[in-house]
A = this chain, B = another copy of it.
Amino acid sequence: MDFHEKTCLPCQGGIPALTIDEAARISLNVPAWRVESEATRLVRDYKFRNYAEALAFVNAISNVAETEGHHPDICFGWGYATVTLFTHKIQGLHENDFIMAAKFDRLFAN
């Protein structure tokens, strides 16, 4: 099964966040993303040709986020979107975040 085909399982808390080493290893599955803030955030910058394309992407990934019940933080505007993933319940990264990242990348057509 490809990484993006995995399902994002609800994270109920009570489990540890990934360590920096674990996050670095799993991040090889989504090389365009960067692990930030002592491995508590997963971030990618996307570029677009205008505002409308950025907004369309924001809606596309939001649809996936609602389906999976795992929501990103998004900063976007004319020609760009920066997407941040983390798992709120554990205030850090979980495999789910990397699965979501892979799913988002599949929606990026540029």
A71 within 8 A of B: yes
- Interface pair A55/B59, CB less than 8 Å apart: yes
Contact with B along A36-68 (1 / 0, CB 8 A): 000000000000000110010011001001100
**A63 and chain B: residue at smallest CB distance:** B55
- Residue in B51, B58, B71 whose CB lies within 8 Å of A78: B71
For chain A, give the interface size range.
10 to 19
- Residue in B52, B65, B72, B77 whose CB lies within 8 Å of A66: B52
Q: Please, which residues of chain B bring their CB within 8 A of the CB of A65?
A: 51
Task: List the interface of chain A (C-beta within 8 A of B).
Answer: 51-52, 55, 58-59, 62, 65-66, 71-78
